[in-house]
Structure 1
Amino acid sequence: MASNKKLGFVLSLLLLMTTTTSIEGNNNNNVEEQVPCVFIFGDSLSDNGNNNNLHTSAKCSYRPYGIDFPDGPTGRFTNGRTSIDIITQLLGFKEMIPPFAKLGGFDILKGVNYASGGAGIRVETGTQLGADVSLEIQLENHRKIVSEILAKLGGFEKAQAHLNKCLYYFNIGSNDFINNYFLPQYYPTSQTFTLENFAGHLIQNYSLTLRAMHDELGGRKFVLVGLGAIGCTPRAISRKKNSPLSLCDNDMNEAALIFNSKLKSLVDLFNYQLSDSKFIFINSFSGMLDHHSIGFKVLTEECCKVWENGQCAANEKPCKNRNDYAFFDSFHPTEAANIITAMSSYNASNPVFTYPMDIYHLVHS
């Protein structure tokens, strides 16, 4: 039975991987939109162009990024679609959710993507790379959009009714460890906090953003994505200084597990306290490790040639067999890996990966 289930999953994966998509539309033409809008908050795992005009090295508006995307490089840190791109398609959206930095001509009533490469929960996170849009500023940008939505819909009650039905997707926190806590040459946080206390501090700040989203801005359906196995990225493996018996960096993975445990507890707390809302937790750590058993042939190396910062070198040809690779550059998954993450997030019904429900059941509840 387990092998049949896995076979069915892989067949579905192959179907999605061979589906032609475009920025104007996708092949879900017969699928109705299951929510009126999606608002996206996060870092480079979700960024779709917000960093393009920032003064930072954390941007990817050049080839080979976007090599499998219909419009070429857009600011996505992968060869094609991100996980949230695919999730919105599974939700029936015919167009990609636009980046906040480039809203001209897009209908903001359908949603906005605020994610920024390098960004974290803490304001200073990732700034050794240059400018980014922290979670705090992403919240402020969303306030501006909500004000515009209120004006468009002609009143608070209509805007509130619309926003209550939207999906709020958060995928952030990795950089607070990768580009903050574990970079003592740039940031003092590892001298100021124990790992446990730092994770608790992040969750406390995170919770304030989520409460504001609920109390002030109409959010009711929330997806909180946990951290992946950040110690198992090609960059972490290549720079590992501990755990000689382990391929991955155990300290970084421990940080992710501590953060995820606290984030899952926050989901429980909010589901108890905010009875008019629903929060779910996506266990990316488990999902990332499961990638190893799905069929990827290359798990610890990048598909593209990389610069010292771990990003793809400009205009260099990436690997041809991209569906065999779990990682496109030193940090970011390939579209093939993103498809698996998106499918598992959307329709898994597995409490190990989606808790207490998957996205499909969240939007239909």
Structure 2
Amino acid sequence: MNSNLKPSNLVTISVLLTLSRLQNWVNAKSEVPCYFIFGDSISDNGNNNYLNTLAKVNYPPYGNNFPEGPTGRFTNGRTVHDFIVESLGFKNYMPPFAQLRGKDVINGVNYASGSAGILDETGKINMGARIPMNQQILQNHRAVVSKITKEMRNDPAASKKHLAKCIYAVQIGSNDYINNFFMPKFYDTSRRLTMPTFTNVLIQQLSQQLRILYDFGARKFAVFGLPLIGCTPNAVSVHGTDGKPCVEKINKAAGLFNEKLQLLVHQLNANLTSAKMTYLNPPGLPVDLSIFANAESCCEIGGGGGELCIRDSSPCSSPEKYIFWDGVHLTETHYKVIAESAYSCTSPSCAAPFNIQKLAKL
């Protein structure tokens, strides 16, 4: 660097470089034209806010580390898909379907709903209103596809071409276990079906749902496996662990679901012409839990059905040191880990047959 430059000139150069980087970001084109999100509370960013449900979090301390404050995200900051759309180069997060109000849907929409499941019945008895997967697809996404077609001068071919380039993120299934099968007080599912049989029912239903999305024009699918739902503070508290770190029967169910889901992705790739579908396995919890303040929730729980943060309670001061934000959901820090794995992992153990970065380029 020229030693004759004055400090004032250095400041000017620094500002110009910063402005240049910002301008490049503003002008940058996203890696795909649109990103659609289907799922549950892991992905919900406001769709449950106006529903008569226990599963809504549009109050403090949720959003404690999010610029807009409480938005309906079930964590302290950004969700998995917020991080992913940032990585893909979008300038804005995908708007929740419930709050579109004339917003442009050409770049994507978030349909996810807290306590929703693959099955219509999941979450209904114990949590109240929610938007199950069938409604997310058959009612809400259908309406958005229709709107996109109208925006493209009522040209179905142009709409199909646009939608074929989008990524469809599907992250659902946890509630079908924790708010259905493993909740015999409210649901008789476990008395009617064995866990393997129930898992087959879920996979068959999800297969139909993915095929319907395909019929609507979807071609690029990012399908997420279930996390270790037996390790949440709520699961441990409700079910007990017999001295082990997690509830093994719940994690076993999630593991079986993931095995069958990965096989389903492989089958659909083979059977659906032009389908580009990938399975994304969320990374497990850190092996060394001692590096965190503790494995309990960052906020004081007792809201919702007992697993959510108590309204206006004071959370921990360092959520980045915690795995769980409330009794079920992770902190922003760990959602970022999941997002980074989904976007760039190159191992078949976490992305098969490819990660989201490669999916975007196909």
TM-score with structure 1 length normalisation?
0.89
Q: Answer yes or no: is the 8 Å Cα contact 2:289–2:295 preserved in 1.
A: no
User: Corresponding residue for 1:184?
Assistant: 184
Deviation, 1:241, is 3.5
Q: What aligned pairs does 1:21-100 form with structure 2 within 5 A after superposition?
A: 28-29=25-26, 31-100=28-97
Q: CA deviation at 1:30?
A: 6.1
Is the alpha carbon distance of 1:296 and 1:60 closer, same or farther for their aligned partners in structure 2, counting shifts above 3 Å? farther
Q: CA deviation at 1:298?
A: 3.8
| Counterparts in 2 of 1:27 and 1:40: CA distance versus 1, 3 Å | farther
Superposed CA offset, 1:210-249 (max 9, x none): 001112x10000011010011001111222335x242100
Deviations 1:101-150 (A, max 9, x none): 00024210011100000000110101111100000100121001101111
How much does 1:166 deviate? 0.4
2:206 and 2:23 map into 1 onto residues whose CA distance is 33
Where do residues 89-238 of structure 1 align in structure 2 (5 Å cutoff)? 89-127=86-124, 128-139=126-137, 140-154=139-153, 155-215=155-215, 217-238=216-237
2:346 matched to which residue of 1?
349
SS of the aligned residue for 1:49 comes to coil
> How far apart, CA to CA, are the structure 2 residues paired with 1:91 and 1:47?
19
Aligned residue number for residue 356 of structure 2: 359
| Distance (whole Å) between structure 2 residues aligned to residue 27 and residue 292 of structure 1 | 39
Match of 1:250 in 2: 248
Contact 1:292 1:299 in 2 (8 A): no
- String of CA shifts for 1:79-122, please: whole Å, max 9, x gaps: 00000011001000001100000002421001110000000011
CA contact (8 A) 1:296 1:325 kept: no
> CA offsets per residue over residues 293-348 of structure 1, 9 Å max, x none?
59850452000001061100111110011100111000001000011110110001
- Could you tell me how far 1:27 is from its partner in structure 2? 10
Paired AA for residue 357 in structure 2: Y
Change (3 A) 1:298 1:204: farther
Once residues 321 and 142 of structure 1 are traced to their aligned partners in structure 2, the CA distance between those partners, rounded to angstroms, is 38
- Residues 255-292 of structure 1, C-alpha deviation per residue, up to 9 Å, x if partnerless? 000100010000110111124111111112xx033x34
Query: Is the alpha carbon distance of 1:263 and 1:26 closer, same or farther for their aligned partners in structure 2, counting shifts above 3 Å?
Result: farther
Q: Distance in 1 between matches of 2:343 and 2:28?
A: 15
- Residue in 2 aligned with 1:304? 299
Deviates more, 1:294-303 or 1:206-215: 294-303
- Is 1:318 aligned to residue 310 of structure 2? no
User: How many Å separate the matches in 1 of 2:309 and 2:359?
Assistant: 36
Asked if residue 276 in structure 1 is aligned to residue 274 in structure 2, the reply is yes
Does the CA-based 8 Å contact 1:232-1:300 persist in structure 2? no
Residue 78 of structure 1 deviates from its aligned partner by 0.2
Q: Distance in 2 between matches of 1:136 and 1:255?
A: 22
**2:287 & 2:28 partners in 1: Cα distance?**
31
Q: 1 CA distance for matches of 2:278 and 2:320?
A: 29
The CA distance in 2 between the partners of 1:231 and 1:298, in whole Å, is: 20
The residue number in structure 1 matching 2:10 is none
What amino acid is the match of 1:95? N
TM-score by length of 2: 0.90
CA distance in 1: counterparts of 2:77 and 2:48, whole angstroms: 17
Over 3 Å counting, the alpha-carbon distance change for 1:281 and 1:298 in structure 2 is: farther
The secondary structure found in structure 1 opposite 2:81 is helix
**Cα distance between partner residues in 2 of 1:122 and 1:288:** 25
Cα distance change on mapping 1:332 and 1:208 into 2, 3 Å: same
CA shift for structure 1 position 350: 1.2
Residue 98 and residue 226 in structure 1: after superposition, are their counterparts in 2 closer, same or farther (change >3 A)? same
Question: Following the alignment from structure 1 to structure 2, what is the Cα–Cα distance between the partners of residues 332 and 80?
Answer: 12
Measure, in 2, the Cα distance between the counterparts of 1:173 and 1:296: 30
Match for residue 335 of structure 2? 338
Uncovered stretches (5+) of structure 2, i.e. residues with no partner: 1-21
Task: Please give the alpha-carbon distance, in whole angstroms, between the structure 2 residues aligned to 1:49 and 1:129.
Answer: 16
Which has more radius of gyration?
Answer: 2
Secondary structure of the residue that 1:281 maps to in structure 2?
strand
- Check conservation: 1:296, 1:323, Cα contact below 8 A: no
Structure 1 298/279 Cα, relative in aligned 2: closer, same or farther at 3 Å?
Answer: farther
1:9-42 CA distances to partner (integer Å, 9 max, x unpaired)? Answer: xxxxxxxxxxxxxxxx999546420010011000
Secondary structure class of the residue paired with 1:363: helix
Question: 1:326 aligns to what SS in structure 2?
Answer: strand
Distance 1:237 1:177, change over 3 A: same
In structure 2, the residue matched to 1:4 is: none
